[in-house]
A and B are shown apart, each in its own frame.
Chain A
Amino acid sequence: SAVISQKPSRDICQRGTSLTIQCQVDSQVTMMFWYRQQPGQSLTLIATANQGSEATYESGFVIDKFPISRPNLTFSTLTVSNMSPEDSSIYLCSVRDFKVETQYFGPGTRLLVL
């Protein structure tokens, strides 16, 4: 199974600022995904990060707000820009294992925006 790490594990930020979350995987993966879990809610896919091409965003999420980088097959970043309290959530990085049809998640980044 893939081992995924995220930095930071948690942060408290002021509104109007930006935070970049890093995701590192211990093996090369084609696709990496970013999910958001708002307080007391389920998980929602933000975007799919493809190596060598632009990220693909889900409805309701835009690149200006959530820019994503994918410089290689083991690493991705998600930036939460111009934050507001509504961005307070857990942000989770995820990878898909095509061989055994499994999807793994990182430990998450807990973000609180004041």
Chain B
Amino acid sequence: AQKITQTQPGMFVQEKEAVTLDCTYDTSDQSYGLFWYKQPSSGEMIFLIYQGSYDEQNATEGRYSLNFQKARKSANLVISASQLGDSAMYFCAMREFFTGGGNKLTFGTGTQLKVEL
């Protein structure tokens, strides 16, 4: 089974609108962390936001927020007030703190976001 599933290969959003990028995960670890990264066409991986499995509140970083639903094993990224510069590939990733030594990040297949005028 896939550990990280991103079911949206591509998404379109109009500038200034909000968009939600889906991510579901599968783990038997009680302690884990979830990450979102942005990868522009230049190829760099830009860290956006982190959510720990024991964090009671949803993480927020500026225009980014993580909708964490632990029982559903989902960690969706919400981008508010989309900008043209948000057009990029977005990856969800998970670190399991017990499985595999706790250092490996497992990535989903990514969602290509295109922001339109």
Contacts and interface: CB of A to CB of B under 8 A. Distances in A.
Interface in A46-67: 48, 56, 58
A31 B105 contact: no
Max chain A Cβ within 10 angstroms of own Cβ: one of B33, B50, B52, B105: B105
Contacts, number: 52
B107 A33 contact: no
Contacts of A103: 35, 47, 95, 105
Contact of A92 (B45, B47, B50): B45
Nearest to A92: B45
B103 A96 contact: yes
A108 B108 CA distance: 19
B105 A42 contact: no
B52 A101 contact: yes
A102 B95 CA distance: 10
Counting contact residues on chain A (CB < 8 A from B), the size range is 20 to 34
The dominant DSSP class at the A interface is: strand
A90 interface: yes
A31 B50 CA distance: 19
Contact of A43 (B42, B45, B95, B103): B45
A110 B43 contact: yes
Most buried by B among A1, A37, A48: A37
A43 B105 contact: yes
A42 B91 contact: yes
Nearest to A97: B47
Given A90-B43, A103-B35, A31 B103 contact: yes
A48 B103 contact: yes
Given A43-B107, A45-B105, A103-B47, 4 more contacts: A43-B93, A48-B101, A105-B47, A106-B44
Interface of A: 1, 31, 33, 35, 37, 41-45, 48, 56, 58, 90, 92, 94, 96, 101-108, 110
